[in-house]
Chain A
Amino acid sequence: MSGEHPARQGAEGVREGQETILIAGGGHAGGAAAAALRQFGWKGGITVIGDEPILPYQRPPLSKAWLKGEATAESLALRPERFYTQQNIQTRLSTTVAAIDRATRHVRLADGESIAYHKLILALGARARRLALPGFDLAGVLELRTAADADRLKSAIGPGRRVAIIGGGYIGLEAAASARALGAEAFVLEREPRLLARVASPPLSAFFESAHRAHGVEIDLGCQVVGLEGQAGHVSGARLADGRVLPCDVALVGVGAVPNEEIAIAAGLDCQGGVMVDANARTSDPDIYAVGDLTNRPLPLYGRRIRLESVPNALEQARQAAAHIVGRAAAAPEVPWFWSDQYDIKLQIAGLPFDVAQLVVRGEPSSGAFAVFHLDADGRVQCVESVNTPAEFMGGRQLILKRKLVDAAHLRDLSLTMKDLAA
């Protein structure tokens, strides 16, 4: 296992002996890491290895603008192709990293090729969780993670088509909204007693249930899917525990994501429900970083660790890794945040609902614009869920960052602006 042959490095456009940052994973986090390295002044080689056939792109539009035909490959891309050429970033598409050899600092590709790294950034993301139930291998049973998935879903949705959506999380609800916009019928089957049960407060769940019903989405809560029925190898219905079979033309399974940590585990890196990283996105190996949906990361503002699936998280960690590699001072920790667009509803969430003792609703949910503040026992905002109220999102985020004590009555008082409250 000797080092790379100089000619091979030359063929990749990297000067012999020049250090290369290898980014394993060409998704949102991987693409952002490559850009951040150049932005922060890394002058050595950068190579992004992605298993998809396209350059790094944004995933949020896949369930929204892309499904509705309002996006192009160009608008989806994180950066245009010329960016990589101009910034001397090598890209290897449709290429899978099969193993990490930490001792010699190489990765091995699926075809056996070995590539040396000075530092490695793992940006392998997560894959859609699969349900091991009868019928889930039928044709027409789809998941939504990649652009290829989105294309399959897009061709299956149209006027008169009936979409079974298994899982009432953000993927399912955004897809339901897009399906309705395209004239398809949609029904959501959710195992828990409310939608978004893992991630949202009860008032928020209730609001979205009401909104989706108003747009003609059928919703079954506390509903257990025991299998999918098929005809001629194609899905034709969802079978429930109560015996009902609900007909459908296509099924979308959105029941969570699983981190692609297998090669990290095999290489002996610390992994617990994601690759463990520190505040600089560094793994248990000082030459290996990990970013994005793949990671289990510390949350300094909450005193705990979490695997956080969001674009802002991917971007923050990409910047953390890039900064640490070039020796730039670490940025202050950011308040985790998230957004979702469904119909004309803009949801923005700042913070996470840890240690919540009280919910304070500001505004009237029936008006379509309101926010739910999550306060801890001392009266500090831990999280704010904002529906069509960007000021509550932005102000709430400042309150979380400043750890400011708030008065619930003041939060409810709409005559007080968020600027006043967050000052």
Chain B
Amino acid sequence: MPSITYIEHDGTAHTVEVPVGQSVMEGAINNSVPGIDADCGGACACATCHVYVDAAWEHLTGTRSDAEASMISFANGVEANSRLSCQIPVTEQLDGLVVRMPAGQH
């Protein structure tokens, strides 16, 4: 099962296993990883599942849809490697993925 490392803003790292087919967001919520709120439950409606994808993994996580891009452009601290984690499906190729969370989602 793919392993994903979530790094909180203060540097605390959490490495958890997330089944293929769940989203990176679900992996955090289901494993009590702090720093992702996911208020809308994955409907791409709230932009509170914002993460920064580690440079080494950007090419494997896909690209933002137009809707995701619009949503995330208004998030706090948005960077070029920002993604809404509910829009990143976990695949075998993402085993070892590292994402970082912003200081806050609200």
Chain A interface (Cβ < 8 Å from any Cβ of B): 39, 58, 60-61, 75, 79-80, 83, 86-87, 311-312, 315, 331, 334, 339, 341, 346, 348, 388-391, 394-395, 398, 419, 422
The CA-CA distance from A315 to B70 in the complex, in Å, is 23
Q: Please tell me if the beta carbons of A398 and B29 are within 8 angstroms of each other in the complex.
A: no
Rounded to whole angstroms, the CA-CA distance of A39 and B104 in the bound complex is 13
Per the bound structure, the CA–CA distance linking A378 and B46 in Å amounts to 28
B1-9, B34-42, B93-101: which lies at the interface: B34-42
B25-67 residues with Cβ-Cβ distance < 8 A to A are 26, 29-30, 32, 34, 39-41, 43-47, 67
Taking a contact as CB atoms under 8 Å apart, the answer to whether A390 and B41 are in contact is: no
Q: List A contacts of B32 (CB < 8 A).
A: 79, 83, 86-87
B73 at the interface (CB under 8 A from A): yes
A-B contact pairs, 20 of them (CB 8 A): A39-B34, A60-B40, A61-B41, A75-B26, A80-B30, A83-B30, A83-B32, A311-B40, A339-B40, A339-B45, A346-B67, A348-B45, A390-B70, A391-B73, A394-B47, A394-B73, A394-B74, A395-B74, A419-B73, A422-B74
A331's nearest neighbour on chain B, judged by CB, is: B106
> 9 closest Cβ contacts across the A-B interface?
A394-B74, A390-B70, A339-B45, A391-B70, A390-B71, A58-B41, A80-B30, A390-B67, A315-B39
Distance from A368 Cβ to chain B, minimum over Cβ atoms (Å): 13
Task: List B residues at the A interface (Cβ < 8 Å).
Answer: 26, 29-30, 32, 34, 39-41, 43-47, 67, 70-71, 73-74, 106
A392 vs B39: C-alpha distance in the bound complex, in angstroms? 19
**Contact present for A398 and B74 (CB under 8 Å):** yes
- The number of residue pairs between A and B whose CB atoms lie closer than 8 Å in the complex comes to 51
Q: What residues of chain B lie closer than 8 Å to A341, measured between beta carbons?
A: 43
A334–B106 Cα gap in the complex (Å)? 9
By a CB distance below 8 angstroms, the chain B residues around A331 are: 106
Q: Which residues of B contact A334 (CB under 8 A)?
A: 106
* Alpha-carbon separation in the docked complex, A348 to B67 (Å): 12
- Given contacts A339-B40, A339-B43, 5 further A-B pairs with CB under 8 A are A79-B32, A87-B32, A339-B46, A346-B45, A419-B74
A58 to B42, CA, bound (A): 11
State A315–B48 Cα separation when bound (angstroms).
Answer: 12
- Structural contact, A394 and B70, CB atoms closer than 8 A: yes
User: In this complex, which of A315, A331, A389, A390 has the most chain B Cβ atoms within 10 angstroms of its Cβ?
Assistant: A390
